[in-house]
Amino acid sequence: MKQILDIPQDILDSARMTVAELKIELAVHLYEQGRLSLGKACELAEMSLWQFRQLLAARRIAPHYDVDDLAGDITTLQALGRL
């Protein structure tokens, strides 16, 4: 189900932002706070994974990748016979 968020135009004008820019800023912030996964943040920002990672790097926001992620990747690679 799609939700609609109504942002008054004068708020966007005051922030000097477009709706697209606001979505990107929200996606970056929520990702940085650990509230959105990388995939969902890309979806919200309407950017490719590559574009979003470039944006995070430009802002010096480290990717969220921990020991559990590494273990999961190792398990996947072993299952695929690539490790």
Q: The whole model's pTM is what?
A: 0.78
Contact status, residue 55 vs residue 24, Cβ threshold 8 Å = yes
Closest CA to 30 of 11, 56, 9: 56
Q: Does a structural domain hold residue 4?
A: no
Provide the number of structural domains found in the chain: 1
The verdict on residue 68 lying in a domain is yes
Instruction: Let me know if residue 42 belongs to a domain.
Output: yes
Mind listing the pLDDT tens digit for each residue in 19-63?
999 999 999 999 999 999 999 999 999 999 999 999 999 999 998
**Residue 63 falls within a domain, yes or no?**
yes
Boundaries of domain holding 67: 9-79
